[in-house]
Structure formats: structure tokens, C-alpha cells
Amino acid sequence: MTEYITLSMILFTIGAVGVLVRRNAIVVFMCVELMLNATNLALVAFSRQHGNLDGQVAAFFVMVVAAAEVVVGLAIIVSIYRTRRTTTVDEASLLKL
Amino acid sequence: MLELAWLLVAVPLVSGLGLLVWGKEGDRVGHLIGTAASSFSFIVGLICFFQILGRDEGDRSYSKSLFTWIEAGPFHVDMAYTFDQLSGLFVLLITGVGTLIHVYSIGYMEHDARRRRFFAYLNIFIASMLTLVLASDYLVLFLGWEGVGLASYLLIGFWQHKDSAAAAATKAFVVNRVGDVGMALAIMLMFAQFGTTAISEVNVSVNAASTSTATALGLLLLLGACGKSAQVPLQSWLLDAMEGPTPVSALIHAATMVTAGVYLVVRSNGVFDASEAARNAVIAVGLVTLLAGAWIGCAKDDIKKALAGSTMSQIGYMMLAAGLGPAGYAFAIFHLITHGFFKANLFLGAGSIMHGMDDDVEMRHYGALRAAMPVTFITFLFGYLAIIGFPGFSGFFSKDKIIETAFGHSFWVGLGALVGAGVTGFYMTRMMMMTFFSEKRWKEDVHPHESPKVMTYPLIALGALSLLGGAMMLGGWITDFLEPVVGHAEHEELAIPAWLLSVLITLVVAVGVALSYVLYSREPIAAETPADESVSFFSRAGRHELYGNELNEAVVVRPTRHLTRFLVFLDGKGVDGFVTGLADRLGDASQLLRKPQTGFVRSYALSIFGGSLVVVLALLAARLA
Amino acid sequence: MTAFWILAPIMVLAALGLVLARKAVHAALCLAIVMISLAVLYAAQGAPFLFAVQIIVYTGAIMMLFLFVLMLVGVETSDSLVETIKGQRLMATVVGLLFGIVGVLVIGQAVTGAVTGLDEANANGNPYGIAKLLFGPYVLAFELTSALLITAAVGAMVLAHRERLVPRRSQADISRDRMREYAETGRHPGNPPTPGVFARHNAVDTPALLPDGRPMPESVSASLVARGQVRDGFDDDVDDIAKAIEPPPHAGWPFDQEGDDQ
């Protein structure tokens, strides 16, 4: 069981670092997906550990929410690309003084 | 008619306010309406006056309450008026001279685009002044008191596009406020001590009060009177007030409003009778102002300012008489009325001269005007003879009596008044010499001409009054007439007979006149004012109004300014400093916190990620601990 | 356990590839590998329903969506590897390493005790058990997800919708513009030639050759030009073609047949 959790942690950390270092918004998004998937793996593993299916249901919900998030997020990326001709997250840095 | 005497106030007030709110179409008839309102008041006043004349001597005071103004527990103020001998004379003076000046202004202000507004202000002044003299309660009197102050302010600053006029108006208003503080405090003291502010009740109950109360009351009232009547030490505004149109100077700053202080003292005779200290203060103020005004009148080259100095001086005479107690009250009022006639005459004459001289007020630019303006000259001459006290003219009777009573009070006071009469002769002769005699010193392009009839007729009327005003003294009529109001005093016999004193006074005046004549006819008068350095100390001081402004500046204005600056400093650095300092430090802290706000999403994500690491470590630490 | 030990290294490598890949498409492919491997791991852990959902929803739908958007906007842009925020990469690495170490050492060891296993829970079949939970205790959350999905769909439509600001250009407009441009600049009004058709190479990355032998850049897709994937270096092509056209001495047909006709 420990190895599943360990793998989950490793994937999560890699995804998080990816979010921090990549600048292409789409790749950043993929890294977020990777983090979500890593947590799903942990949930499924916990589900087997405890012998009930609540973990799997939680993973299912995560997938649904992730799907919704991807749809909206990608739409935002597309509309930003349309106005600014770029998908670099650093370009959208107007939220400051 | 007496029960309708409130119309005296109501008609000019309604007319004045109506003229103010009426639009441009009122310009055509505004001056006529204003004059008609003033004439109406005069006629009503005349009828009322003859009605009380027709009554028995003891029954000549008529009071009527229109409505209750203030009702608060035991305190009760009626909107009431009293038409008695004193206020009757005042009503006639105000409305009579006022109407003449209205008529005169029709011509004088003909080319002013805002003539309707001018007449509206004049009417408001008439209404306020009548409120002042008709009031039977100090609070109502105060209403009129402030009303005339307002009208005076508006009229001095009537040409407010001139900076000097605007400043003069402000100065008059501010200095008057100082006097009004005294007036307001006096009314509060009355209320606190006697529980009433009705004039008749105060005059009675002051006898039962302590002398110190009466003295305090008297001094406070005197402060108010000083402010309104331009007496030392609140005299400085009157000379500047000459910035207003000349009819205003004649009506407000010579004939009527400035005498309100004298009226107040006479009206409050009960208070002053009860306190000798207050009376002496009035005498001192009157005497000092009398001499100071005459001094200033000798030195000024501006005809209106010279007349203003003379006004101060003459009001000083009235104050002096009023301070002499029951013996002098009637003479104060008598001189007030005759002064109202001849000073209005002189001012309107000055206005007529200015009218012909392109609004030049500098006497050094006049000279030999008697041929160019015969009517003005003759009427001005009447006013001149009246003011110096030429035998037979009104001023002779009124001033004589005051000096005589002053000698009866004390030799030195009488001497001061006598010297003042001599100086009056000097400065008035100087004015005559510089204006109507001597040689021409006219500016180029100035063509002196006589004023229109609408201006000269009032002059003729006032000239006649200057001559005939003394008739009121025939057989001691005015003293007897006013006795029920101001009280009776035994005539004090002097060491020398009265006729001898009159001759003496006339001689002193003649010396002043002769001195002036010699001085100003011996050598030609310079067309420009000589520099300050080339004239004697007396002229220099007189020109600078005896350094009254400088004194005010040094004693009041500058310390107050320093105090204000200190308080502003305290407020800015202390109170505000704390508050703004707090805000500034917060701002600095925010500037520091602003630095991490790069706007880069990835920086924020890094913070979140680092934060979650810290949270995990903290949980772990808590777990292991 | 065999599946885990085979798949785990692949997944870690693919995840690293996702972070390190220079091109977004490569990153997407790496992510797909991770997802499919995850699906297998789900199956191995007694979650056949999630296995199917992972393949269908994630790998099938979401990844395709990613690729769509990538093709729509991102193909022409490739990440520059120069970091713009000072210290960001270093800090990210440090924090990431710390986080990983703490996570592996602490959370990884959090699970103790014997594995219960899902045999009992899956007695009636895994989908049955999940359905029982979804439509039982979790029914409210399940219904809420429907609202979330609807909102997301509408939101995406609103965000991606573009208001028409100018009237649609008709075919007549387009042809008029083309003729005007021809008159003003001399640009040919017809379609550009398709890449490579008349040249030796008929691949899309090869420009067409003009009759005088010059390559025509306009014939290649703009995307390929932007990515620098246009083939070049065919100066010798003309010679090659000429050589190819040169009739071999032994062959008469078809080269001289035309001449015969005339």
C-alpha cells in the first residue's frame, strides 16, 4: 500500500513543480491534471485499504469536476489567446500595481 | 394711525425684498418703488408723530405688541413696538433724510446697471433702522441692529468689483461684530439678571440691581455702541466705509446708522443713570473720539474721508452729551438730529461735487468750484455754517448746549469739547477753501457742472433744514418734549452766564476758521498730496488715522494670527500628525507588502505550494510534539 | 504487484517528460501515458469502473480536448526555456524537492495495518457498489455535479463565443478584394499551388516549384513555416529532374511520341 501512496506523492510533486516552472498555459493545465490524477490514485488506494468504495466515489467526483474545470479553463485560454495572441501565463500579469 | 405704525417697517421691507427677487423688468421702476416705499414710511411717521404731539404730555408713548416672538417658560419676548417722543424723532429723521437720499440716488445712481438692487438695499436699511428705533425689547432692537449692519455691509461693498470696496465691507462687518459681541453679552446679562429683555423693564429693574451689574451692563452696551457708531477703539471701519456710493455714506455712515450707538445709550438711560462708572466711560469715549475725529478730518485730502472724520467727531459730541446723564440726553438727540441734517447735506454735496468731477474725491484736484456748481456751493455753505456752529444755524444751538453741559460737568471735559469746536471750524474751512475757493487745480478733461435737479432739490431741502433745525430748541422745546423719556435734570448754573459762553465758543470757532483761512489762502495749494516726510507729525498721524489700523494690527490681528498659526501647527503636526502618521506608516507597510505582488501567477502558485509545505510541516511538528 | 512495479517507473518518467518536454504536443503524449497507466493501476486495485471512466473520460475526452486546443492555439508557440521570473525555477525545485521528501517520508508511511481489500465491497460487482453509494448517500453531490457540468458547458460557450462586429464577407467581396490586390500589388488572384505537386517531392513540407525552377514559399502551410519545418535545400532538384527527363538512349517512347504527332 505504501508504494501506491509514495507513487501518488511523487506524481503530485512533479505536477506541482511543472505548474511552477512551465509558462505555456496549456502545459500548466496538463500539470494540474497530473496533480488531480495523482490524488485519484491515492483515493483509490485508500479505498482498497479500508475496504469500502467511498474513495472510488470521491475519485469519480474528482474526475467530473476536473472535466468541468478543463472545459472552462481551456475556453479561457482560447479567449485570452484570441485577444493577446499568446498562451504564456506570465503575459497575463496585470493583477498588480 | 399709531396702531398701524408697524407699516413703517413692513412697507420698505416688503419693497426691498420684492425688488431683490424681481427680475430685470423691475429695473425700469425699481428706484421709483423704493423711493415710494420710503416716502410712504415718512408720511406714516409724520402722521404718527403729529398724533403723539396732539396727546397730553404724559401720554405720548404708544406701545403695541404685534405677536409673541419667543415664549420659553418665564421668558417672554413680544414683537412689539414703542412709538414715543424719542423714537418718533428718530423715525422722522430716518425716513425724512432717507427719502431725500432716495430721491438724490435716483440721479446719482442713474448710470449704474444695478440701481434696482441699490434701492432694495436702501429700503432694507430703512426697515432695519426703523425696527431698531421702534423696538420695545432689546432682542427686537438687536434684530434691527444686525439688519442695519447687514445693509451697511452690502452697501459699502456695493461696488464689490473694487478690491478696496470689498475689503472695506469686510472690515466694517468684522469690526461691527466686535461691538455686537458686547451687545449680545449685554442682552444675555439682562436675561440672566432680570429675566427680561424688555427695554422699559430693564431700565426700571436696573435700579434694584447692584452697581457692578449696572456698570457691566453699561460697559457692554457701550462696546456695542462703539462698534456701531465708530467710536474709539472700534472707529477704524468708518473711514474705509467711504468706499460705498456717496448716498450710502450720507444716509448710513453719517445721518442715521452710525448714530444708533447714541440712540442705544440714550434709550438705555436707566442703565447709565445707575452707574457712574459707565457714564464716565461714555464721556471718555466721546471726548477721545471727538478730538481724534477732528484731528483726522484736518489731515485727509479725500473729501469723503475728511467728512467721515468729521462724522466721528460729531458723534463723539453726541456720545459725550449722552454720557453726561439726564442733563445731556436731550442735547445728544438734538445734536444727532441737526447733525443728521447738515452732515447728510454735506455728504450729498460732496457726492454732487464728485458727480461733476468725474468721481474724483481728491480735494487737491478741486478748487474754485463755486462758480461751476452754484447750487451745490450754496447748500454746502449752509451745511458748513451749521457744522461749525455759526450763530443762527442749527449746529450752533445743538453744539453750544453740549459744550455748556460739558462745562457744567467738569471744566476739562468742557475744554476738550471747546477745542473740538475750534478744530471743527479749522477743518471745515479748509475743506471749503480747497473745494470752492482758491485757484483751479482740475485735472485735464474734467468739466465741472451742476448736478441734475433730482440731486439738487434734496440738497436744497437739507440745506434749509440745516439752517432751520435749530428751531427745535426754541423755548427749550426739545428738552421738554423728550423729558418723559430721558428723565429730568436740573439745569446747572455755570460760573459765567450762558450768553457769554456762547460768545466764547463762537470766538474759538472764529479763531479756527481764521487760522485755516490764513493758512490756505496765503500760498497756492499743491495739486498733489505732499509726501509724508514733508509734513508735520500732526498731519502725518491724521493721514494715518492716528495709527488706529496699525494699533489694531499690532494689538489684535498679529497676536491672533500668531495664535492661529500656532494652533494650526499644533493641529497639523500634533493631531493630524498622529492620524496621518498612522496612515503613512500603514502606507509604508503596504508598499513593502506590495513588492511580492508581481502579478505573475506562477509566483503566487509558488507561495501556495510553499505554504502547503509549511502547513504539512506544522502538522507534523504538532503531531510529533 | 507486478503491474505496479512495471508501470510505476514508466509513469514517473512520463510525468518528468511532461514537465521537461519542450513541445506541448510531447507533453500531452506523456500525460496520456500516465493516464493510461493509471487506468491499469485502478483495474489492479479493484476499481474496474474507474478504469473504464479513466480511459473514456480522461484519456478519451479530456486529452482530446487538450489536443484540440493545442492545435487551435499552441502549435505555433513553443515554450522558451529561459526563465523570466528571477529565482522561480530554483525555488520551485527546492520547494518541490522538500515537499516530495516530506510527502514520501511522512504521508507515504501514514498507512499502517493490513489491507482490507475490496472483495466484500465488490461482491455484487464494482459498478453496482459505486452506484449504490452514488445514488444513496452521495445523491445530492451527484446531482450538484450535473449543475456544475451544465454551468461549465454554458460558461465555455460564453467564453469562446465571438461577437460578430463586421458583416460577413461574401464570396463577391472576397473576389473583389483579390482582383483589387492583383491590380495594386500584382499578387496572383488564383489559388496558390499545392505544395510539392509539380516538384520531385509531393510532401506537404515541400514548396511547389515554379516553372523556372524556383520554390514557391506560399504553397506551404503557414503553420509549418512558423514551426520551421519547411524542407529546403533542393537547388539541385532542377538538375535531377532534367536528368530524369533526359530520355535514356534506349527508350523512344513516350518522349518522342508527342513530336511524332506534330
Taken in order of first residue, the domains within chain A and their CATH numbers are 2-91 (1.10.287.3510)
**Does the distance separating the beta carbons of A92 and B598 come in below 8 Å?**
no
Q: Which chains neighbour B (Cβ–Cβ under 8 Å, 3 or more pairs)? A: A, C
Q: What number is the average pLDDT over the span B362-371?
A: 86
SS3 content of chain B, % helix, strand, coil (to 5): 80, 5, 20
Residue A32 makes CB contacts below 8 A (sequence gap 6+) with A15, A19, A69
Least confident of B116-130, C45-59, C70-84, C155-169: C70-84
C91 close to B (CB below 8 A): yes
Measured between beta carbons, the chain A residues lying within 8 angstroms of C118 are 47-48, 51, 53
Residue B157 binned pLDDT confidence (cut-offs 50, 70, 90): very high
Nearest one of B72, B78, B82 to B197, comparing CA atoms: B78
Residue B73 has pLDDT above 50, yes or no: yes
DSSP string, C26-80: HHHHHHHHHHHHHHHHHHHTT-HHHHHHIIIIIIIIIHHHHHHHIIIIITT----
* Closest chain C residue to B613, measured at CA: C99
**Does the distance separating the beta carbons of C103 and B606 come in below 8 Å?**
no
Mutation site, C10, C45, C86, C90, interface A, largest A CB count within 10 A: C45
Measured between beta carbons, the chain B residues lying within 8 angstroms of C86 are none
Whether the CB-CB separation of B109 and B24 falls below 8 Å is answered with no
Measured CA to CA, the distance from residue B126 to residue B139 in angstroms comes to 18
Q: What number is the average pLDDT over the span C185-202?
A: 72
Residue C261 has pLDDT above 50, yes or no: no
Measured between beta carbons, the chain C residues lying within 8 angstroms of A53 are 118, 121-122, 126, 129-130, 133
Q: Which of residues 34-93 of A touch C (CB under 8 A)?
A: 34, 37, 40-41, 44-54, 56-57, 59-61, 63-72, 74-79, 81-82, 86-88, 90
**Does the distance separating the beta carbons of A97 and B594 come in below 8 Å?**
yes
Percent of all residues in chain B with a pLDDT value above 70, rounded to a whole number: 100
Mutation site, A23, A27, A77, A90, interface B, largest B CB count within 10 A: A90
pLDDT tens digits for C195-212?
766 556 667 777 777 777
Q: What is the pLDDT of residue C260?
A: 44
DSSP string, B287-325: HHHHHHHHHHHHH--BHHHHHHHHHHHHHHHHHHHHHTT
**Does the distance separating the beta carbons of B603 and C99 come in below 8 Å?**
no
Chain A interface residues (partner B, CB cutoff 8 A) = 16, 19-21, 23, 89-90, 92-97
Q: For residue B275, count other CB atoms closer than 10 A to its CB.
A: 22
Highest mean pLDDT: which of B242-251, B482-491, C234-243?
B242-251
Residue C258 binned pLDDT confidence (cut-offs 50, 70, 90): very low
Whether the CB-CB separation of B245 and B155 falls below 8 Å is answered with yes
Rg (C-alpha) for chain B, rounded Å, is 31
Measured between beta carbons, the chain C residues lying within 8 angstroms of B610 are 91, 95
Nearest one of B266, B509, B491, B525 to B401, comparing CA atoms: B491
Q: What number is the average pLDDT over the span B186-200?
A: 91
Residue C247 binned pLDDT confidence (cut-offs 50, 70, 90): low
**Does the distance separating the beta carbons of C69 and A13 come in below 8 Å?**
no
User: Predicted ipTM?
Assistant: 0.92
How distant is the Cα of C96 from the closest Cα of chain A, in angstroms?
6
Q: What is the pLDDT of residue C203?
A: 74
Between CA B392 and CA B399, with CA B396 as vertex, the angle to 5 degrees is 165
Report DSSP state, residue B468. Answer: H
Report DSSP state, residue B500. Answer: H
Residue B101 has pLDDT above 80, yes or no: yes
Residue C106 makes CB contacts below 8 A (sequence gap 6+) with B616, B620
Q: What number is the average pLDDT over the span B156-169?
A: 92
Measured between beta carbons, the chain C residues lying within 8 angstroms of B598 are 85
Write down the domain spans for chain C. 1-76+123-148, 172-253
pLDDT tens digits for B405-443?
898 888 899 999 999 999 999 999 999 988 888 888 888
Measured between beta carbons, the chain A residues lying within 8 angstroms of C121 are 51-53
| Residues linked to residue B68 through DSSP beta bridges, in sequence order | B78
Measured between beta carbons, the chain B residues lying within 8 angstroms of C106 are 616, 620
- Smallest Cβ distance to B616: which of C91, C96, C102? C102
Residue C213 has pLDDT above 90, yes or no: no
Measured CA to CA, the distance from residue C108 to residue A12 in angstroms comes to 12
What are the average pLDDT values for consecutive 10-residue runs of chain A, which has 97 residues?
89 93 89 94 91 91 92 89 81 69
Three-state DSSP class for residue B67: strand
Measured CA to CA, the distance from residue C208 to residue C206 in angstroms comes to 6
Q: What is the pLDDT of residue B532?
A: 78
Q: What is the pLDDT of residue B452?
A: 87
| Residues linked to residue B198 through DSSP beta bridges, in sequence order | B137
pLDDT tens digits for B500-526?
888 999 999 999 999 998 988 887 888
How distant is the Cα of C94 from the closest Cα of chain B, in angstroms?
10
Residue C241 has pLDDT above 70, yes or no: no
C124 close to A (CB below 8 A): no
* Closest chain C residue to B615, measured at CA: C99
Residue C253 binned pLDDT confidence (cut-offs 50, 70, 90): low
pLDDT tens digits for B216-241?
999 999 999 999 999 988 888 999 99
Three-state DSSP class for residue B62: strand
Residue B111 makes CB contacts below 8 A (sequence gap 6+) with none
Measured between beta carbons, the chain B residues lying within 8 angstroms of A94 are 599
- Smallest Cβ distance to A16: which of C8, C66, C96? C96
pLDDT tens digits for C124-146?
888 999 999 999 999 999 999 99
Q: How far is CA B326 from CA B178, B267, C201, in A?
A: 28, 11, 135
pLDDT tens digits for C222-235?
777 777 777 765 66
Least confident of B179-193, B253-267, C169-183, C206-220: C206-220
Peptide bond into B12 cis (omega under 30): no
Q: For residue B474, count other CB atoms closer than 10 A to its CB.
A: 9
Q: What is the pLDDT of residue B551?
A: 87
- Smallest Cβ distance to A93: which of B599, B605, B606? B599
DSSP string, B529-587: PPPGGGS-HHHHHHHTGGGHHHHHIIIIIHHHHHHHHHHHHIIIIIIHHHHHHHHHHHH
Measured CA to CA, the distance from residue B235 to residue B265 in angstroms comes to 17
Three-state DSSP class for residue B511: helix
Q: What is the pLDDT of residue C187?
A: 81
Residue C262 binned pLDDT confidence (cut-offs 50, 70, 90): very low
Q: What is the pLDDT of residue B134?
A: 93
DSSP string, B71-95: EETTEEEEEEEEE-HHHHHHHHHHH
Residue B624 binned pLDDT confidence (cut-offs 50, 70, 90): confident
Q: Which amino acid is at B89?
A: L
Measured CA to CA, the distance from residue B37 to residue B43 in angstroms comes to 10
Percent of all residues in chain B with a pLDDT value above 90, rounded to a whole number: 50
Mean pLDDT of chain B: 89
Q: What is the pLDDT of residue B13?
A: 94
Measured between beta carbons, the chain A residues lying within 8 angstroms of B602 are 19-21, 23, 89-90
Give B432's Cβ-side CA count (13 Å radius): 23
Whether the CB-CB separation of B93 and B84 falls below 8 Å is answered with no
Contacts of residues A53-58 at CB distance under 8 Å and 24 or more positions apart, as own/partner, are A53/C118, A53/C121, A53/C122, A53/C126, A53/C129, A53/C130, A53/C133, A54/C133, A56/C47, A56/C49, A56/C50, A56/C126, A56/C130, A57/C130, A57/C133, A57/C134, A57/C138
Burial of B496 (0-12, 13-18, 19+ CB in 10 A): exposed
- Smallest Cβ distance to C99: which of B602, B609, B620? B609
Measured CA to CA, the distance from residue B189 to residue B422 in angstroms comes to 41
Whether the CB-CB separation of B294 and B424 falls below 8 Å is answered with yes
**Does the distance separating the beta carbons of B602 and A93 come in below 8 Å?**
no
Q: Which CATH number fits domain C1-76+123-148: 1.10.287.70, 1.10.3720.10, 1.20.120.1200, 3.40.50.720?
A: 1.20.120.1200
Measured CA to CA, the distance from residue B498 to residue B473 in angstroms comes to 15
Q: For residue B442, count other CB atoms closer than 10 A to its CB.
A: 18
The three cell numbers locating residue B242: 467711504
Q: What is the pLDDT of residue A31?
A: 94
Q: What is the pLDDT of residue A35?
A: 94
Measured CA to CA, the distance from residue B279 to residue B277 in angstroms comes to 5
Residue C119 binned pLDDT confidence (cut-offs 50, 70, 90): confident
Q: What is the pLDDT of residue C259?
A: 45
How distant is the Cα of A61 from the closest Cα of chain B, in angstroms?
23
The H or E element that residue B107 is part of is helix B85-108
C73 close to A (CB below 8 A): yes
| Residues linked to residue B64 through DSSP beta bridges, in sequence order | B81
The three cell numbers locating residue B122: 436702501
Residue C214 has pLDDT above 90, yes or no: no
Mutation site, C118, C124, C161, interface A, largest A CB count within 10 A: C118
Nearest one of B275, B426, B436 to B349, comparing CA atoms: B436
